[in-house]
Amino acid sequence: MPRIALVTTSYPNSRAGNEAAGSFVEDFARELSTLVDVTVVAASREQSVSRAGNLTVRRFAVPRLPLSLLKPQVPWHWPAVLRTLRAGRRAVRACIAEDAPDHVVALWALPGGWWAKVEGGRRGIPYSTWALGSDIWTLSRVPGIRRVLADVLRGAQQRYADGIELCRDVETISGRSCSFLPSTRKLPTQCSRPASCGPPYNLAFLGRWHPNKGVDLMMAALEQLDDDDWARIGEVRIFGGGPLQKQVLDASARLASRGRPVNTGGYLDKAEAARLIGWADYLLLPSRVESIPVIFSDAAQLGTAMITTPVGDLPALQDRHPFGRMASSASDSDYCRAIQSALRDSPARFKTGLDSHAGDFSLSAIVTNLVGDLGLE
């Protein structure tokens, strides 16, 4: 049976918060292992090897997690950056020598793609890259790193990105074609329920409390809703964590003091996330910067309508199959108006569009197409 090595800096462990970062990578690896042998090479705090069926997970130790907090442009981060680069390269070298993969798929373009290019090249093993927005929108702006990124992308057999606009950005940087490969998780569908046909509606937010995710503009929008709007709301549940925690909790306290049914909580594992999304009539996605968030496919799978901002690929997806209400801009006032519009609509009428998106983001179809692309059927 052919073997694919997945090299990634995102793979879940038992600590809260890591589910959001990497649970879809675990689901991807498990689904892929139904078609080919899979070895995952993943960053972790401790080195380990585990095997289950056709799936092997090789964890290599790094000095700090999550790696997204390491910034190459910050001089005092460089000791940890260099240690991480060396550890990952050694782990990929060992995987190639011991497991002899037919292909290496790097999640993500950097640093995984660089490891795959350098160590795969020594043994003549082809590699492909799967880029996220952080690869392209952040690292490509760092002097010197953009050249490395372009070189890694050009050398890949296949280039993938988890957004439609992001594919075009990869093509611009690399001068090569790029295919859309959505990131999606496999959720327990029994958590879904029929959408409500009338108010009061349940609203939910799940994700990082970070400016890019727009949680602050969402809180400002909720504070602008009037008594008539709140009469149409059963409850608002806000889960996650991050640098805007104080703002979120302060705004929630102000709303609660006015008798508004707002509750907050921390990060959720995949099963808990599915229950929250399935409970909601509308999932709140107020991002300022976005491609296609994993939680979009979560909501589509569970048939939960969404209230979003017009960022990234969301307008194109809305045009293709309406999935809910979309604000006219990523501002608190326009997001407030989108919530008000949704509260006077029925989330049940978006079922057809959500079903279509659920099919587009089918994990089994995604891995089948990947294996075919790589010529490993």
* Mean pLDDT, residues 63-84: 75
% of the chain beyond a pLDDT of 70: 95
Greater model confidence, 73 or 110: 110
Asked: is 3-184+362-373 a CATH 3.40.50.720 domain? The reply is no
pLDDT at position 17 is 43
* Mean pLDDT, residues 237-244: 95
The alpha-helical segments, DSSP class H, found in the chain are 18-32, 78-99, 112-123, 133, 145-155, 164-174, 215-224, 227-230, 245-257, 270-279, 294-302, 314-320, 332-343, 351-360, 363-373
pLDDT at position 18 is 43
Residue 370, amino acid: L
pLDDT at position 327 is 98
CATH architecture observed for domain 189-360: 3-Layer(aba) Sandwich (3.40)
Q: Do the domains 189-360 and 3-184+362-373 match in fold?
A: yes
Whether residue 192 contacts residue 278, with contact meaning beta carbons closer than 8 Å, is answered with: yes
* Domain layout of the chain by residue ranges: 3-184+362-373, 189-360
Residues 77-85: contacts with CB under 8 Å, at least 24 apart: 84/43, 84/111, 85/111, 85/114
pLDDT at position 20 is 45
Greater model confidence, 18 or 290: 290
Give burial (CB, 10 Å; 0-12/13-18/19+) of 134.
middle
Decide if pLDDT at 192 tops 80. Answer: no
pLDDT in tens, 259-271: 999 999 999 988 8
pLDDT in tens, 326-345: 999 999 999 999 999 999 99
* Mean pLDDT, residues 166-195: 87
Greater model confidence, 149 or 187: 149
- CB count within 10 Å of CB 44 equals 16
* Mean pLDDT, residues 177-193: 83
SS3 category, 56: strand
Greater model confidence, 6 or 376: 6
Statement: the pTM of the whole predicted model exceeds 0.95: no
% of the chain beyond a pLDDT of 90: 70
pLDDT at position 6 is 96
